[in-house]
Structures are given as structure tokens and as C-alpha cells.
Structure 1
Amino acid sequence: MNPLRLLQKKAIRQHGLQQMFRGMVYKQQVQASENLQLIMERDHELGLHGYSHYEWMNTLPKKTEEEITEWISKGCAYFEDACGFVPKSFASPGFVTSSEFLEALDGFKFDYSSDFRGTAAFYPQPSTRRFRTLQLPVCEKSFGELEFEGYSQDEVYGIFKSSLDTAQHFFVFYMHPSYEPILNRDLLIKVLEHIISSEDLEIITMHQLAKHIKKKGFP
């Protein structure tokens, strides 16, 4: 998602222009987040979401495998410094990928990565070369993306409910901490309540999902 698109009326009311521009212009270290320890204490899974987010989105296709490896290595170092352990998973900013990226990714031996959109797990094979990092794709657009496309909150809920209820094997969705949990809090709670109340849905971490797929094979 382009961060400039967040400059809509309700986002400006919530954050103010000064704070929004600070978040987009200045680099902020995750070590400063007071919620980081709380996230880990509650057994949530943490993975690496690239390095230099917007530069990654805008320039990755021009980067060599070596340059991308350096980027990911820097991200891993910052992650370990902040969390105390090496990341075991990855997700490419903006779903931007390249063959050079997939080559570099394999060198880190992550348990899985989530760099594409789709509904089934797979190993990338753009030609005769099959890459080794398991992909757990994101199955649905974020609330914000759907809203920007013109859907109302009721329609967004309907899309998520339908996708969840008809998912064949698993359902992965994502959100931006500065948008959905703040500006779409009620909608997020409604979707989570539907997941919790459904007898047909089981909540697991993506690491658990990757482990299951590697052990049992693809459905």
C-alpha cells in the first residue's frame, strides 16, 4: 500500500498531519516500541518484513542477488538486536519479488516466507528452477486496500467472511499496525470474533502451518 494514500480525512483526524509525515519520512527503530516485549510474552510469532521498506518496494527489481542478500542480512541483524533471536520467517514489502530475490531468500533457510498472494502453499518455480523456501501466500487484501477500492466496511466484512468460510486449506490475511487496528478497530474485532466463534476454523501460527505442510505434504 502506498503510504500517501493514508492521507484521507479519518486518518488525518486520528493521527494529525505532523505524526503521519513523521512515520512516512523518518526511520524508526523497532527497539523503541513499548509493545514489543508484550507481543513476545503473549507467544505471537514474529518474522522479518524486509529492510528499508519503501526503498525495497521501489527498487528491488533493479537489485542483484548480492545486494538483496545484504539487505536481508541487515534486517536480520536489527531484528536479532531488537528481539533477541534470529527471525525464522520473512515477508517481502509490498509483495515485490524477483528471481534474484528468490535466490537470495533461499540462502537464509527461513522456515517459510510470505511474498505472494494466493490460496495455496507452494515452492516458487518460475521456470525450470524450483526454489527451496516454502511460500505461504496472503489470501486476501487488507481492509485498507479494499476500502481504497470503494468497498464499505460492511462489504469488507462480507468479503472476509466469505473468504474465511470457503477457504480450502488455510486463510492468511494481513494488516498494517498504523491503519487497520486503529482506523478499522470495530471491523477487525468483528472479523476476529467470527473466526473465534466458527467451529470449522482453527487458529494457529504460520510457523505451525509451515511445519504441518512440510510434514504432511500439500493437500
Structure 2
Amino acid sequence: MKIALKVDVDTLRGTLEGVPALLELYQRYGVKATFLFSLGPDHTGRALRRIFRPGFFSKVQRTSVVSHYGLKTLLYGTLLPGPHIGRRAGDIMREVEQAGHEVGIHCHDHIRWQDFVANRNADWTRKEMQTAIDVFQKIFGHQPAVHGAAGWQLNKHALQLEQQLGFRYASDCRGQSPFIPQMDGETFDCPQIPTTLPTLDELLGRNGITEANVHEAVFAASRKPAAAGHVYTLHAELEGMKLLPVMEKLLQLWQQAGDDIGTLADYAEELDTAILPCHELVWGQVEGRSGVLAVQGQKIE
């Protein structure tokens, strides 16, 4: 089975601590991953606006948010000013690419994008994406090839901009297989490579799943048939820190099974975009996660 590793890096702490830990782990196991960076201010504390979203409190209780993110991070953007991640951690980001991993864009301001993009217009969306691209180019010296929307949140303007701004593929949604996206009746050229596997924060604390056995649940999900393979989204703040042992156990299981572990770029190389099916991108719920996300909808004939 092909397994693409997509690392979402949401916070300054995740960049400074989680990313180096994952680099060391991946070097030991000889695997490469795609790292998608939040490049602007860390405003994690503003996520408290979500307190009235159904399922928010249950997720916070299940996943021990404070122990994973740290109190200081949870105050950024409220009682503490939000540090600029790109300026503070550009050297670490460059180390990722120098180690042979793929790098791309998650967002500029994670909380701002995740909480507002669904209802924003083309100008707002372009400003957010272009600002992220500008920081990315300053850090890496080249154009990004991949975009992965923060919180699996987007709008049709983001899809249009992905094709206009030169992204070769994107991983903005949840789904089952790669596809050409259609949203609000418009079809967009930039292929979507959706996350197919559940994330740790969606599994922990549910159905008897704990930190001791959650790797088994993810591995079992990765055994489900998938013609193009699976995409596993992990977080530098979880698998790169307190849950690093879970990531190592997963690597061991996948390698013992003979799976091909790699980047989204590796995954995309084997896709024939000329024959990819077109699917709607719709809003839907994912078990274990609060609110609605962009998900792969029905096939367009």
C-alpha cells in the first residue's frame, strides 16, 4: 500500500520542537514526508471562538489540548502577542527541505484561515494566499508546489487561486481518492489529493482508543482498499511531540507490511491527471471532529 505522509505544522512550538523531532525520526526510518507550514502569526489562542461549535468541548477533553500545545501557545493572539512563525523558524523550515522532504503551504494565519475562509470573498482569499506565498518564497527561494488548507477549510476562490498561482496539486479536503474538484458548479484544474485516514485527535478517547493503541486503529484503517493509496495527515504538535512514539509505531507497522511510505509529490507522480474523475467538493462532518469540513462529494459524470 502507498502511504503519503502529510505533516501539518500549525504553531510556532510545533515548528521549533515537533518538526526537528520528526526529522530525526524519519531519518532513522529512511522515509520522506510532505511538511505544510503555517507561515505567519501564531494566533492559536483565538481558537476559543469555537466554544459554541458542536463537539468542540468534547474534543478538547478527549485530546488534552493543553498538554499537547502548551499554555503559552494557547495564549498567543489573546493575552500574548502572536509570534511570526516564518521569521522565528525559517531556519528549521529550510532544514526540512535540505533533508529531502517536500515543503509546501498550510496557510499564513492558521486560525484566521480556518475560522473565516468559508465565507470570505475572492479578494480576502487572494490576500491570505499571496501573503503565505510571499513568506514561503522568502524562506525557500522558490514557488510552492503544494497547498493543504488549514482545518480542511476553503472556498471556491481558493480552488481558483491554486490553479492561477501555480500549485501542481493540493490536499485541502477529506475523501477517498484523488480527483478534479468542482465547487458551486465550477470545475478547477488543480487536482485534489484528499486525506483518507483518520487523525489521532479524531480517534483518541473514543471507542476505547488510547495513546497505547491508537496506532493500531490508524494502521487498520490503512488496510482498507485504496487504488491510489492512502494519505495520512499528522500534526507536528501531536506526532512530533508527546505522541512521537505513536508515529514511530505506525512507521514500524507500515514498513513491516511492506508499504511504500513517501511524500505527496511521490503520490502525485503516479497520477494521470488527464483521466482523474471530477467530484464535487462539499461540506460534511468527519467523525471525531467538530464542525464541518471540505469533503469529497459525488462523482460528476
TM-score normalised according to structure 2 size: 0.64
* SS of 2:102 mapped into structure 1: coil
Q: What's the offset of the Cα at 1:56?
A: 0.9
Offset, 1:12: 4.1
Distance 1:185 1:125, change over 3 A: same
**In the alignment, is residue 158 of structure 1 matched against residue 216 of structure 2?**
yes
Alignment partner for residue 85 of structure 1, among 129, 133, 142? 142
1:173-184 alignment, distance < 5 Å: 173-184=232-243
Residue 72 of structure 2: aligned partner: 18
Q: CA deviation at 1:18?
A: 3.1
Match of 2:114 in 1: 57
> C-alpha offsets along residues 145-164 of structure 1, whole Å, 9 cap, x if unaligned?
32254632344222211122
- 1:10-48 deviations in Å (ceiling 9; x for gaps): 664576523543488513222422532321121000010
Matches within 5 A, 1:112-151: 112-126=169-183, 128-147=185-204, 149=206, 151=209
Distance 1:68 1:194, change over 3 A: same
Q: Write the letter of the residue equivalent to 2:71.
A: L
Residue number in structure 1 paired with 2:154: 97
User: Greater shift after overlay, 134-143 or 209-218?
Assistant: 209-218
Corresponding residue for residue 28 of structure 1: 84
Mark the runs of 5 or more structure 2 residues left unpaired by the alignment.
1-9, 11-43, 49-58, 278-301
TM-score by length of 1: 0.85
**Corresponding residue number in structure 2 for 1:47:** 104
Out of 137, 143, 165, the position equivalent to 1:108 is 165
1:209 is matched with which residue: 261, 267, 272?
A: 267
> Using the alignment, how far apart are the partners of 2:111 and 2:267 within structure 1?
29
2:224 corresponds to which letter in structure 1?
Answer: T
Within 2, Cα distance between the matches of 1:15 and 1:60? 24
What is the root-mean-square deviation in Å for CA atoms of aligned residues?
A: 2.9
Q: Give per-residue Cα distances to partners, 1:160-185, cap 9 Å, x unaligned.
A: 11122224121111122122221111
Q: Size of the alignment, in residue pairs? A: 218
Higher strand fraction: Structure 1 or Structure 2? 2
Report which of the two has the higher share of helix. Answer: 1
